[in-house]
Structure 1
Amino acid sequence: MSDPRLELAAAGARLAALGLSPGSSGNLSVRVDDRILITPTGADLAHVDPEGLSVLGLDGVHLSGPRPSKEFPLHAAFYMRDAAARAVVHLHARHSTAVSCLPAWSRRSAVPPLTPYFVMRVGQTPLVAYAPPGDAGQAQDVTRLPFPLRAVLLQNHGPVLSGSSMAAAVEAAVELEEVSALLLALGGRAPRLLTEEEARSLGEKYGSPWGE
């Protein structure tokens, strides 16, 4: 059986190597039964100590280990929204953060259905109104969103994504960064998007949230 602490550390190293976690930005967590293991405040994702993680309850109460990332309310919100979520990734990746500074494509997704892989691996990704980092009210906003999702863009801040495993959450983060780069590369041009029917069909086939 794999060790979730080691998986988290390996994921941090991969995301940092891909350039998606500049400096000491970003935070990762995994859910193990009724506990959340999360990177501590100020952690460098390139060098996460698997034995030095913060341990929280699902309600966000700090149980042991160093002081957790101030973004822990967002992680707890994703776990409370979806019992199947086993990992959460929050990054300040360049392209997806740039998209978080733009107007949302729609109420349900800041990013349009530009590629099938975005729909398949990420799904609709709403833009959540700006709040200071670590704001508990913003986490409540995520909890209250009235449609299915596995990812959000925090306005002027960056992406938060969940997955049924750490590998799935990392894959989604990489895909969101790629579709964001494509979107920015298109500039002001009007691209051909997947139709609502095409996107919904992919969502149904791959179990990805798209639509109400």
Structure 2
Amino acid sequence: MTDHTADHAARRRIVALGASLFERGYSVGSAGNLSVRTDTGYLMTPTNASLGRLEEDELAVLDHDWQHVDGPRPSKEVVMHRAMYRARPESAAMVHLHSTYVTAVSCLPAGEDPVIPPLTPYFVMRLGGEVPVVPYFRPGAAEMLDDIRTAGERCRAVILANHGSLVAGASLEDAVNAAEELEASAQLAFLLHDRPVRELTAEEIAELR
């Protein structure tokens, strides 16, 4: 078995946070995937793996060029992770979820208004106050790379049409916190649908940023 001593802490975090997301309903079945940048490349959850049943020594290992070098095959969503790391080279981790409210929002028709308005300071502080929607692509399709990279250069989180979300973070914990905030914000958007709301003003958003 390969010596994974150097990335043991990262493996432990992936397993623990994946289980936490699964147990709280942020992913079901084998939906969703996580990745972490390491000194030698990337660790990623395997294809068809449940976030609730990950094993530390059963994660996919990729080098800096995204070539699979050890462990089980990585998730087919490796394309969008790669695109987001390219868009945000300072990021150390990515979280992709099919959480209920974000996925519901992702199925709404495209419009001029943001699908999730800036209602709370935490939406601004953790997500920047804007989360763009990337057009639909078949999961794993190489064609999504440019659209995700363009959207990712603007914002640390994107909504994938008819699919879910992809969130970048300075650490896996940071990415998970932001993904959870995105789900809570999407839930608020649904609860307040067709009701008059007070959105944060441009001045308030600027102050938070």
TM-score, normalising length from structure 1?
A: 0.89
* 8 Å contact from structure 1 (residues 90, 158) kept in 2: yes
* 8 Å contact from structure 1 (residues 58, 80) kept in 2: no
- Counterpart of 1:88 (choices 88, 94, 98) is 94
Residues in 2 aligned to 1:145 and 1:189: alpha-carbon distance in whole angstroms: 29
Residues in 2 aligned to 1:167 and 1:155: alpha-carbon distance in whole angstroms: 25
Residues in 2 aligned to 1:44 and 1:178: alpha-carbon distance in whole angstroms: 22
Kindly provide the amino acid, as one letter, of the partner of residue 180 in structure 1.
Answer: A
- Following TM superposition, by how much is the alpha carbon of 1:105 offset from its aligned partner in structure 2, in angstroms? 6.4
2:115 is aligned with 1:121: no
* 8 Å contact from structure 1 (residues 59, 76) kept in 2: no
In structure 1, stretches of 5+ residues that fail to align are 204-212
**What is the aligned-residue RMSD (CA, Å)?**
1.9
Kindly provide the amino acid, as one letter, of the partner of residue 111 in structure 1.
Answer: I
Kindly provide the amino acid, as one letter, of the partner of residue 100 in structure 2.
Answer: R
Give the secondary structure class of the aligned counterpart of 2:206.
helix
Q: Deviations over 1:116-170 (max 9, x none)?
A: 1111112221100001111121122111238531100000100110100111011
- Report % sequence identity: 46
Report the equivalent of 2:161: 155
* 8 Å contact from structure 1 (residues 120, 202) kept in 2: yes
Report the equivalent of 2:22: 16
TM-score, normalising length from structure 2?
A: 0.90
1:146–1:17: structure 2 CA closer, same or farther, 3 Å change rule? Answer: closer
- Following TM superposition, by how much is the alpha carbon of 1:33 offset from its aligned partner in structure 2, in angstroms? 2.4
- Counterpart of 2:189 (choices 183, 196, 206) is 183
1:165–1:48: structure 2 CA closer, same or farther, 3 Å change rule? Answer: same
Report the equivalent of 2:31: 25
* Number of residue-to-residue matches in the alignment: 202
Report the equivalent of 2:202: 196
Give the secondary structure class of the aligned counterpart of 1:88.
strand
In structure 2, stretches of 5+ residues that fail to align are 1-5
- Following TM superposition, by how much is the alpha carbon of 1:4 offset from its aligned partner in structure 2, in angstroms? 0.5
- Following TM superposition, by how much is the alpha carbon of 1:191 offset from its aligned partner in structure 2, in angstroms? 1.6
1:106–1:51: structure 2 CA closer, same or farther, 3 Å change rule? Answer: farther
* 8 Å contact from structure 2 (residues 117, 199) kept in 1: yes
Give the secondary structure class of the aligned counterpart of 1:84.
coil
